[in-house]
Structure 1
Amino acid sequence: MQDTYILTLSCPDRPGIVHAVSGFLAERGGNIEEAAQFNDHGTGLFFMRVQFSCPAGDAAPLREQLGALAERFAMRWQLHERAQPMRAVIFVSREGHCLNDLLFRWKSGLLPLHIAAIVSNHRDFYQLAASYNVPFHHIAVTKASKAQAEERQLEIVDSEGAELVVLARYMQVLSDAMCQRLAGRAINIHHSFLPSFKGAKPYYQAHDRGVKLIGATAHYVTADLDEGPIIEQDVARVDHTDTVEDLTAVGRDTESQVLARAVKWHAEHRVLLNGHRTVVFK
């Protein structure tokens, strides 16, 4: 019997890191199935993702021994069981295309997730949630109730043991405190090719500028609106005959695809934070 794990790490770059990691795994009967690494010469940091199998058993000793190895190299590291789907909560408002796409991909076995709950500031998608047998939580948000609403939202995230929060066109700006609580585990889809056309109504901004390409950006949520580390982007071609409604329709498909790829890569532990940027081992 074999267990499969995914090890991700980052540390100051120096000779011998790959040798040390591969040797560590070999000494414990580990077989490397997939490996990728990146040296950021600008920051002097080294990043690595290793998927490996090893004889089945308690993972605690492996984690303890990895801790000793990590200390030698000043590594920041995580070890994940590949067979364990990532628990996620999806936030949505009144645009349901990204939510519908994620639910379909999840139920089709295309995303290594367990969608534990859907949270919305509107009631529009409670029937869609029910059709997938996913708990739906309606939490109204006003200026006066925002703090209480976010407290309730975080209670749901914590109670569900969610490792990931997906803002699937959730049209509320999260508070700084909530962004800090969800740092590195909340992904937003912005219906624009950042850094262009930030904020509200980017398709109107794009149409006003007569763009020939429209795009979508999936990024981690930070306190700076639409400034978080970018995970994935894509574009679609348009022309002068397209109305704002045309741009919006084309953009929805792009948004859904970009968000699905970002969520998949995050759930597969392929995305490592590198300051205000990301390293994505596709």
Structure 2
Amino acid sequence: MNQTTGPRPFEGQAIIVTGASRGVGRGLAIRLGELGAGVACVARATDASRFKLPGTVDETARAVEEAGGDGLAVPCDLSRPDQIEAMVETVVNHFGHIDALVNNAAVTFVGDLDMELKRYELTMAINTTAPLLATRLCRPHLAERNGRIVNVSSAAGLSYYPSLMAYGMSKTALEHLTVSSAAILAEDGIAVNCFRIDTAVASEGYVMNTPDDDHSTWADTSVSAEGIVWMLQQPTSYTGRLESMVGIAQREGIMAEIADKTNSNAPSANPWSIDQARGIV
């Protein structure tokens, strides 16, 4: 195990990262490992059952170990509620607790009103229903640890992008889940926030789906990881936020690689307060 030197603020913590076989999830899992965390790497792709895109949960778990953390590979089909339940049980059995949940996994299919219903339903199952179920199942464990939840969204949830209607709908719903569950879980001492990726990030799937684009200026997945790590380190009073990736970079002076981007069409923070979400104001 090649531990990195320097502060390890997540030492002893157990964090679930879904969609961890590649892209932003993999980058985040490895960074959390560098910072001392135990990371449950959740996705379908395994060494024994690979997909067209590179990356498996086993590879990510090994990378977490090499970075100095405790990596746990948890194969899981997030479209199946029974497997989500089994995933949470596996994580608790291994680490003994859960400190944070990062709902990062998502699927995208091309199509708008003409999309096949089974693809629409799968998009909603993985991008929206799975985070809801994971939040529900992790709630008692997170309540014991003043835990945090981060839901990873997209600018597609705010505007129409051709052929991404269902994906955008799922992300809009995820953002509503964020503010609603933040209000509900505040009494448990659990913070819930949304990290909206609103600048181009060079994840494997995004790059594959845009072969004609110039990817040279796209941010590395490690940049997104930096932003999500920052969010996980905030006090639990920081909750119910719908944050723009570019907005955080500019406001907090982090993610320097994208801090000068001006292509975000999202607000830097959710305009609703947690009290308004409860109906107090």
Length-normalised TM-score, structure 2: 0.45
Q: Which has the higher strand share?
A: 1
The structure carrying a bigger helix percent of its residues is 2
- The TM-score, its normalising length taken from structure 1, stands at 0.45
Instruction: Report which of the two structures shows the higher radius of gyration computed on alpha carbons.
Output: 1
